[in-house]
Amino acid sequence: MSFKFRKIAVLFTVAVLVLMSAATAQPSKAQDNSGFKLADRIAQKVKSGQKLTFRVSYHDVSNEFAPEIKAGVEQAAKAFNVDVTLVGPVGAKAEDQVAELEILIANNVDGLAVSSVSTDALAPVLNKALAAGIPVVTFNTDNPSSKRLGFVGQDLIESGRAAGKLMGDTLGGKGSVIITTLDASAQWSLDREKGAREALAKFPDIKIVTTVNTGTEPQAIYAAIENAMLANPTVTGIVSLECCSTPAAGEFVKRNNLTGKVKIVGFDLLPTTLQLVKDGVIEKTIGQGPQKQGYGAVQLLVDAVNGRAVKGIDTGAEVVDKSNVDAKLQPATPAATMSATMVATMAATASK
């Protein structure tokens, strides 16, 4: 037994030492992206007109944006005639994303577009790819700590500022506000919160009461908002920083007959969010064009391998309110309906 323990202790010490040396060996956070040199094998492939292999790594392929980003990626694959698929972890796990990228680099992928789970955790592996001559761009969530060649997406701090300003204007410069986010410690959330707080600070009569960290589970999101609103009955505005606490805040306000008394400014264009905008419960919501982000990520990689200058693309912060919501309210996304029919057929066959 004691022998086993000693063995484990030795292994553990070795592991710690390896980790420590790996940590110290991390490249510095220099933001210099001028030194990139395309690998010869990729340059030759481009020259001979061979089909290139790109991978687009999204920080959580199981969330509601993944299908939209995937659609953009597939559109670009056709347009530019490249072999490209959407990859990434299920559930935003940095370790899984790093491991997958390492495998892709070892397998000589010709280009990577990455939306990072965590800036600092992902930067070393992005730099490793660049050092191997593989072009790397970022999309959706930027990674400014890395030497990535360019970024496609929304400027997150800027979009946070936009949300803060919209709330300030909606409230007429007076009131008290809570900020809701499903992951207060995530990079995108920190960025948007920073922007929102900056913009709201310009309204001296608006007080930010608290930031509510709702968690990602739908019931938990609703319960967190419910508890926070009960604890702070004077709140007149809710700024939601993402897709999913936006409709939950809307449902809360609608069900408690607070429409008009508590104003909501949120993000993204989920079906429930759009319906709540139409019903006048949510004042404004900010879209970020996920499909454009998927398309743009591939476009930047094509530019990079062809030696063209890689210019970032700002997919903007499209504000949707009652005046333009009708155009956004589309029928069901095809996939979900098809699956519903699938289940129906499955059950029908089973019952026969």
Closest by Cα among 273, 313, 297 to 70: 297
Closer Cβ to other proteins, 45 or 197, answer by number: 197
Instruction: Tell me if 10 contacts other proteins by CB under 8 A.
Output: no
One residue of 91, 172, 173, 307 binding other proteins per CB under 8 A: 91
Instruction: Tell me if 100 contacts other proteins by CB under 8 A.
Output: no
Stretch that binds other proteins, among 42-50, 73-81, 126-134, 270-278 (CB under 8 A): 270-278
Instruction: Tell me if 231 contacts other proteins by CB under 8 A.
Output: yes
Instruction: Tell me if 90 contacts other proteins by CB under 8 A.
Output: yes
For residue 28, what is the DSSP state? Answer: P
CB of 67 to other proteins, least distance (A): 5
CB of 179 to other proteins, least distance (A): 11
On whether the CB atoms of residues 58 and 88 are closer than 8 A, the answer is: yes
Question: What are the counts of helices (DSSP H) followed by strands (DSSP E) for the chain?
Answer: 13, 12
Cβ neighbours of 222 (radius 10 Å): 18
Closer Cβ to other proteins, 196 or 228, answer by number: 228
Instruction: Tell me if 99 contacts other proteins by CB under 8 A.
Output: no
According to DSSP, the residues that pair with 54 across neighbouring strands are: 84, 111
Instruction: Tell me if 108 contacts other proteins by CB under 8 A.
Output: no
* HSE-CB for 1 with a 13 A CA cutoff: 0
CB of 219 to other proteins, least distance (A): 6
Cβ-Cβ contacts under 8 Å for 121 (sequence gap 6 or more): 94, 95, 98
Pairing of strands 318-320, 284-287: antiparallel
Separation of alpha carbons 278 and 326, rounded Å? 7
Instruction: Tell me if 228 contacts other proteins by CB under 8 A.
Output: yes
Stretch that binds other proteins, among 75-83, 109-117, 152-160, 224-232 (CB under 8 A): 224-232
One residue of 6, 7, 255, 311 binding other proteins per CB under 8 A: 255
Instruction: Tell me if 259 contacts other proteins by CB under 8 A.
Output: no
Closest by Cα among 76, 75, 77, 104 to 88: 104
On whether the CB atoms of residues 163 and 199 are closer than 8 A, the answer is: yes
Cβ neighbours of 12 (radius 10 Å): 10
User: Which residues, numbered 173-202, are part of the site for other proteins (CB under 8 A)?
Assistant: 184
According to DSSP, the residues that pair with 152 across neighbouring strands are: 139, 313
One residue of 36, 53, 67, 318 binding other proteins per CB under 8 A: 67
| Burial classification of residue 49, based on how many CB atoms lie within 10 Å of its CB (0-12 exposed, 13-18 middle, 19 or more buried) | exposed
Closer Cβ to other proteins, 255 or 311, answer by number: 255
Helix (H) or strand (E) holding 168: helix 156-170
User: Which residues, numbered 288-347, are part of the site for other proteins (CB under 8 A)?
Assistant: 329, 331-333, 335-337, 339-344, 347
Question: What letter represents residue 281's amino acid?
Answer: V
Instruction: Tell me if 212 contacts other proteins by CB under 8 A.
Output: yes
One residue of 1, 23, 106, 230 binding other proteins per CB under 8 A: 230
Tokens of 202: 């310009």
Closer Cβ to other proteins, 255 or 322, answer by number: 255
Cβ neighbours of 202 (radius 10 Å): 12
Closer Cβ to other proteins, 111 or 266, answer by number: 266
Residues that bind other proteins (CB under 8 A): 60-64, 66-67, 90-91, 184, 210-213, 216-219, 222-224, 226-228, 230-233, 244, 247-248, 251, 255, 270-272, 275, 329, 331-333, 335-337, 339-344, 347
